[in-house]
Every structure is written in C-alpha cells, then in structure tokens.
Amino acid sequence: MIWTYAALALLAPSAHALLRFSCSQLVIERLDPLVNPGALQSPHLHQIIGGNAFNATMDPSVAPSDLATCTTCTFSEDFSNYWTAVLFFRARNGTFKRVPVKGNSGFESSQGGMTVYYTPTLRGTAKVTAFKKGFRMIVGNPTYRTEAEAKRFRQLTYTCLENILTRTGETLDFPKKPCKAGIMVNVRFPTCWDGVNLDSPDHMSHVAYPASGTFESNGPCPSTHPVKIPQLFYEVIFDTSKFNDQSLWPADGSQPFVWSFGDATGYGNHGDYVFGWKGDALQKAMDSNCNINCPQLKTQSIAAGNKCAQKQKVKEDIDSWLPELPGGMPVQ
C-alpha cells in the first residue's frame, strides 16, 4: 500500500515522518500481563494485537521477539503487544452484544485490530529515543467517569465517523448520536520518558507529557522526564453501524455503548503497551525519519498478519447476546 501525501494529509495533518501500520486482532480475552500479571483471567475483557508471545506473565528481561513465532502487524519485526478494552452494545432488555472491530482506511482487509502510529516529532528534526527491551506503559484510567478526570490525560478521545476518513470532532466521552461509519477510539500515549525506568508501579509514572505546549507544538519535556520518545498512537474502529437504529437505544435518549470494564460514559478510555520490536528496528526507523512506507523495516501482508492468532487461554463466550459483561463487570 503506497500512501499519497493527499491521503496522509487527511489522516495526520502536518506530520512529516511517522510509521502508520495495521495490526490484526491476535485474541480477545480476559488477560492483562501488566495489571494482573499471572492471573488466568483479568477482571475485564481486552482485545490484543501484535506478537503471539502475549501471555498472562511477560518477563521484562525476555524480548517478545525471542519467544514469538508470528505477529499480527504488517511490520513483521514488531512483536509488541498493544491492547484496549472492548466495546459492547447494551440493548433495552439489558443484554450485551460485542461490537465488532473493522480495519481502517487502507487496511480494510485487516481482521479487526488497530492502526498503530509511532511519530518521532511533528516539527523540526529532534531525535527521539525508541522504547527499549522490557518497556511497558498504560495510559488512561478505567475507573474514571467524569470529564474532569478524563482531562488528566491528553488526547484519549472518540471520533464519530461519518465516513472512514472523518478525523474531526474528537470528544472525551462517547458520541451521543449514531455514527454512520463507526466509532473510532483514539489512544495517544505521553511522549517524554524518565530515561531510567522501563516500567513503574502504576505503569505511568515513568512517562510524562511535555512540560509546556504539546507534542504537536514540539513542547519541551520536563526535567524529570527529559528523554523524548516517539508518540505511540492507536486508532481502533468499532463498527457500531448495525446498532444505529435509535429505536433500540435507551428510551431516555442516552447512548447505548458500554466498555467491557463497565463504563457507559467513555471517560475511562485506556490503552496498554508492551514493547517488543526486534533488536533496534524501531530506533532505526525513527532515525531514518521514514514516512508510512519504511524501507528500513521488514513487512508482511495483512493476510499474513490475519493468520497469526491465539486461542483464548480460558475459553469464554464473548459473542452471544450476554446477560452480563464478561467477568460480570457491573455497569457503573
């Protein structure tokens, strides 16, 4: 897939170098090696993409690329894992149906999954330091239910898609009207690192936002977190279109979608990352400032990525009309 500048301008205004690629779904299951390491089932359901070394325990001293035998990502040296929660439609009778995920523009044949971006810098040519073996982080907080809370994070948003290329009108809460082409969840991680810790007890304190300005305005990193890292960004497109008949929506006119962790507001949006690129492939790509098509990196087809899938380790029905959210997560 060759991206033209016209298409790129629509997708990522003012970007001058970035990686943008597709990773298909690896598995949808209740597993969380960051928040609930070792647990056979985490409290809420996740959709995971990336390398097939994903597991209940992921030892930071072992490179995922040494364990994995395949990845769902089109950059085939990327054995990282990326995950978000899963969206459900709640019917008037109180039952839940999982909302399917569809491929993004240019990646239509992707079986679910996400579009992943690594952006070194939007202005100038500042060098960024790629994530290192063992690095992991989380952005967002699944317990948040208010706008004030959600504003503690920057850029965790929703785009109500009029069509697959809609990129305006991001909101911090779920769209309140039917979205013709689906709801896109946007998860952007902080871009400054303390330069020392690969992780932290809350999986967040080792990274930070720029001290002033923004990533987009090339704002400086704070002295506590002086190292610029690429902006990691997920786009996940939930195909809500078959739930758009408003006679099925709550009688009080509120929107019907609920995160798998029981959030009907959208303010609890969050994403998780375990770095797993092979060797220094990501650093090389960042240093070369390559743009979308990155000749420095090895690739595979979307079809090949679709074939790399895991089975749920604990089998669980996630696709029927369910009387409750998986794991019995209450909506609150």
- Give the span between the Cα atoms of 320 and 98, in whole angstroms: 8
Q: Which residue, among 240, 115, 210, 219, has the nearest Cα to 167 in the 3D structure?
A: 115
Which region, judged by CB under 6 A, interacts with ligand NAG, from 41-49, 52-60, 149-157, 177-185?
Answer: 52-60
> Which strand (E) or helix (H) includes residue 286?
helix 281-288
Which region, judged by CB under 6 A, interacts with ligand NAG, from 49-57, 272-280, 282-290, 294-302?
Answer: 49-57
Which CB atom, from 95 or from 166, has the smaller least distance to ligand NAG?
95
- Give the span between the Cα atoms of 180 and 193, in whole angstroms: 38
According to the binding rule CB under 6 A, does residue 302 interact with ligand NAG? no
Which region, judged by CB under 6 A, interacts with ligand NAG, from 4-12, 50-58, 145-153, 267-275?
Answer: 50-58
Could you tell me the smallest distance in angstroms from the CB atom of residue 321 to ligand NAG?
5
Q: For 302, phi and psi rounded to 5 degrees?
A: -60, -40
Which CB atom, from 54 or from 209, has the smaller least distance to ligand NAG?
54
Q: Which member of 67, 164, 290, 309 binds ligand NAG (CB under 6 A)?
A: 67
According to the binding rule CB under 6 A, does residue 91 interact with ligand NAG? yes
According to the binding rule CB under 6 A, does residue 321 interact with ligand NAG? yes
- Give the span between the Cα atoms of 241 and 232, in whole angstroms: 28
According to the binding rule CB under 6 A, does residue 166 interact with ligand NAG? no
According to the binding rule CB under 6 A, does residue 93 interact with ligand NAG? yes
Could you tell me the smallest distance in angstroms from the CB atom of residue 169 to ligand NAG?
28
- Concatenated DSSP letters of 63-122: -HHHH-S-BSBSBTTB--EEEEE-EEEE-TTS-EEEPPEE--TT-TTS-S-EEEEEES-S
Q: Which member of 55, 129, 218, 288 binds ligand NAG (CB under 6 A)?
A: 55
According to the binding rule CB under 6 A, does residue 53 interact with ligand NAG? yes
Q: Which member of 95, 171, 205, 288 binds ligand NAG (CB under 6 A)?
A: 95
Could you tell me the smallest distance in angstroms from the CB atom of residue 242 to ligand NAG?
11
DSSP structural state of residue 221 = P
Which CB atom, from 148 or from 245, has the smaller least distance to ligand NAG?
245
According to the binding rule CB under 6 A, does residue 242 interact with ligand NAG? no
Residues 259/173, Cβ–Cβ less than 8 Å: no
Residues 225/232, Cβ–Cβ less than 8 Å: no
Could you tell me the smallest distance in angstroms from the CB atom of residue 259 to ligand NAG?
19
Could you tell me the smallest distance in angstroms from the CB atom of residue 122 to ligand NAG?
37
Could you tell me the smallest distance in angstroms from the CB atom of residue 55 to ligand NAG?
4
Residues 148, 153, 154, 158: what is their CA dihedral angle, to the nearest 10 degrees?
-80
Name the one residue in this structure whose structure tokens are 């035998």: 69
Could you tell me the smallest distance in angstroms from the CB atom of residue 94 to ligand NAG?
8
Burial class (CB in 10 A: 0-12, 13-18, 19+), 279: exposed
| Site residue total, ligand NAG (CB under 6 A) | 9
Could you tell me the smallest distance in angstroms from the CB atom of residue 274 to ligand NAG?
13
In the chain, beta strands by DSSP E: 19-23, 25-29, 46-50, 81-85, 87-90, 96-98, 101-102, 114-119, 136-140, 156-160, 183-188, 192-193, 207-208, 227-228, 231-238, 257-259, 270-274
Bridge partner residues of 97 (DSSP)? 89
Which CB atom, from 60 or from 222, has the smaller least distance to ligand NAG?
60
Could you tell me the smallest distance in angstroms from the CB atom of residue 6 to ligand NAG?
41
* Site of interaction with ligand NAG (CB under 6 A): 52-53, 55, 67, 91, 93, 95, 248, 321
